[in-house]
């Protein structure tokens, strides 16, 4: 006599549940034992870069607390996409961790729709939003404008005359200025360079007139009188740049184009590992040595739950996708 359909369905369901439990067993056990060997923190930027220095500073107290070394692996290339892809494809066991910036998480999926090789939402799990920093709108010191409105009026008075430098198409410095152009109604020619040192040198020399810069590169030249800072790009004033008002406060409410750094792990990493790592990072962000390094780099610590980072990725993706689409920009 054959089994009834309902009995068969119950038998299949029981088999699936048992199989899932068996599959989850090793992961659950691994989470209980984690960490029992060194971890690798992949930084998709060169040694000595801002992400590298901050990653090393955060990793030191986390490793000490967890009782296992954290090995820094620099994997630069493609604006951070290569190292990010490596972690997205890694085993989700808590031993491969990513320290990256906003670009590979929010703009790269739109800029490299054919060749990126990972989905930051599906392939990575948020752990912690480490820190944020405004960018600084810098101009050549001979530009006859000392406020943001004066600069806007100047550019509008001579269409096609003024330009700006960035670190390349699709970079944060490029997209921030394009958003500024759109919201201010100005026309500025884009001149790409290979890095921020080259951009600030060009601004000081008058080869280009303006640009959004990371403050660690811009502010020493501003303080030396070799460049002028007209505004910062965070929506709120920064205590680290107290003498420079925001773009938002100078006639463009809601304008925001910040840099930020974050830690993620491969999707599927057991939740207890994610939560433990999150707690250890939160504690590390209160470490005095970490705080001093962040201050020096003009970054403000954030921390909080993984949901804080997830929301940041979602909000920023919407903002920058709109800008990229308006430019019809693709880097594939």
What pLDDT shows up at residue 4? Answer: 53
What is the topology classification, in CATH, of domain 136-250?
Answer: D-Maltodextrin-Binding Protein; domain 2 (3.40.190)
Share of the chain above pLDDT 90, in %: 89
For tokens 């590390």, name the residue: 284
Calpha distance 13→177 (Å, rounded): 56
Element (H, E) at 281: helix 271-284
For tokens 């800072």, name the residue: 229
List pLDDT tens digits, range 122-148.
999 999 999 999 999 999 999 999 999
Closest CA to 196 of 226, 218, 224, 164: 218
What is the reported pTM?
0.88
The pair of three-digit structure tokens given for residue 290, joined into one six-digit string: 């970490």
Calpha distance 172→166 (Å, rounded): 8
Angle value at C-alpha 328, between 324 and 332, nearest 5 degrees: 85
List pLDDT tens digits, range 304-315.
999 999 999 999
Let me know: does 133 contact 229? Beta carbons within 8 Å. no
The residue-averaged pLDDT of 264-281 equals: 98
List pLDDT tens digits, range 64-117.
999 999 999 999 999 999 999 999 999 999 999 999 999 999 999 999 999 999
Phi first, then psi: give them for residue 183, nearest 5 degrees: -80, -25
Closest CA to 296 of 217, 223, 243: 217
Per-residue HEC secondary structure of the chain comes to CCCCHHHHHHHHHHHHHHHHHHHHHHHHHHHHHCCCCCEEEEECCCCCCHHHHHHHHHHHHHHHHHCCCEEEEECCCHHHHHHHHHHHCCCCCCCEEEEEECHHHHHHHHHCCCCCCCCCCCCEEEEEEEEEECCEEEECCCCCCCCHHHHHHHHHHCCCCCEEEECCCCCHHHHHHHHHHHHHCCCCEEEECCCHHHHHHHHHHCCCCEEEECHHHHHHHHHCCCCEEEEECCCCCCHHHCCCCECHHHCCCCCCCCEEEEEEEECCCCHHHHHHHHHHHHHHCCCHHHHHHHHHCCCEECCCCHHHHHHHHHHHHHHHHHHHHHHCCCCC
pLDDT at residue 18 tops 90: no
Please indicate whether residue 191 or residue 28 has the higher confidence score (pLDDT): 191
Domain boundaries, the chain: 37-132+259-327, 136-250
CA dihedral 42, 43, 44, 48 (to 10 degrees): -150
Let me know: does 73 contact 40? Beta carbons within 8 Å. yes
Same fold, 37-132+259-327 and 136-250: yes
Let me know: does 317 contact 324? Beta carbons within 8 Å. no
What pLDDT shows up at residue 32? Answer: 82
Q: Does domain 37-132+259-327 have CATH number 3.40.190.150?
A: yes
List pLDDT tens digits, range 178-202.
999 999 999 999 999 999 999 999 9
pLDDT at residue 209 tops 60: yes
């Amino acid at each position: 006599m054959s089994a009834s359909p309902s009995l068969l369905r119950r038998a299949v369901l029981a088999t699936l549940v048992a199989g899932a439990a068996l599959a989850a067993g090793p992961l659950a056990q691994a989470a209980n034992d984690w960490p029992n060997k060194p971890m690798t923190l992949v930084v998709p930027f060169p040694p000595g870069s801002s992400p590298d220095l901050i990653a090393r500073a955060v990793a030191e107290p986390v490793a000490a607390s967890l009782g296992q070394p954290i090995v820094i692996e620099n994997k630069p290339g493609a604006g951070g996409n290569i190292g990010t892809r490596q972690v997205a494809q890694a085993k989700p066991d808590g031993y491969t961790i990513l320290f990256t910036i906003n670009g590979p998480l929010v703009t790269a999926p739109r800029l490299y729709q054919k060749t990126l090789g990972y989905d930051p939402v599906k392939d990575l799990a948020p752990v912690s939003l480490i820190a944020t920093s405004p960018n600084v709108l810098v101009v050549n010191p001979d530009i006859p404008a000392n406020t943001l409105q004066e600069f806007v009026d100047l550019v509008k008075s001579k269409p096609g005359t003024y330009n700006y430098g960035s670190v390349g198409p699709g970079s944060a410095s490029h997209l921030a200025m394009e958003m500024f152009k759109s919201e201010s109604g100005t026309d500025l020619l884009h001149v790409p360079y290979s890095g921020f040192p080259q951009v600030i040198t060009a601004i000081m020399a008058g080869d280009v007139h303006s640009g959004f810069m990371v403050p660690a590169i811009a502010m020493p030249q501003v303080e030396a009188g070799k460049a002028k800072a007209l505004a910062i790009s965070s929506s709120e004033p920064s205590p680290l740049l107290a003498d420079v008002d925001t773009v938002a406060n100078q006639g463009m409410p809601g304008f925001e184009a910040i840099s930020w750094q974050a830690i993620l792990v491969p999707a599927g990493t057991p939740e207890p590992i994610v939560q433990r790592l999150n707690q250890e990072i939160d504690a590390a962000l209160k470490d005095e040595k970490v705080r001093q390094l962040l201050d020096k780099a003009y970054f403000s610590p954030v921390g909080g739950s993984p949901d804080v980072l997830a929301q940041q990725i979602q909000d920023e993706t919407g903002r920058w996708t709109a800008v990229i689409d308006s430019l019809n920009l693709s880097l594939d």
